[in-house]
Amino acid sequence: MKTKALYELVIAPDMQVRDINEQTVNKYVQALHAGAVFPPIDIEAGTCKVVCGNHRVLAMQKLLTPILKCPFVSMCLRALSTLCV
């Protein structure tokens, strides 16, 4: 599985499907702290813009140092319309 450092990932407003929910981020922080494993983050091919996984990225950034590597799946932007709805 490919990885990127958390600090490389970009949460861009133009890629947001839904608003960030702090309660969801905090729930994910607790789950990560308890040892949960989440699916890979989906990023736009050729960039580090997060397509799907904004809440997971924010939770990992809150809990861990931004140097940590996280798994990701690169995808083309056209796939955005069928994911994360």
Q: What are phi and psi of 50, to 5 degrees?
A: -75, 125
36 vs 2: CA distance, rounded Å: 19
Read off the pLDDT of residues 7-46 as tens digits, 9 standing for 90 and up. 888 898 888 778 899 999 999 999 988 888 888 888 887 8
Q: Which residue ranges make up each domain of the chain?
A: 3-82
pLDDT at 45: 79
**Fold (topology level) of 3-82:** 3.90.1530
Going from the C-alpha of 59 to that of each of 24, 30, 33, 71, 77, the distances in angstroms are 9, 9, 10, 14, 24
Going from the C-alpha of 51 to that of each of 14, 33, 34, 44, 64, the distances in angstroms are 10, 24, 26, 6, 21
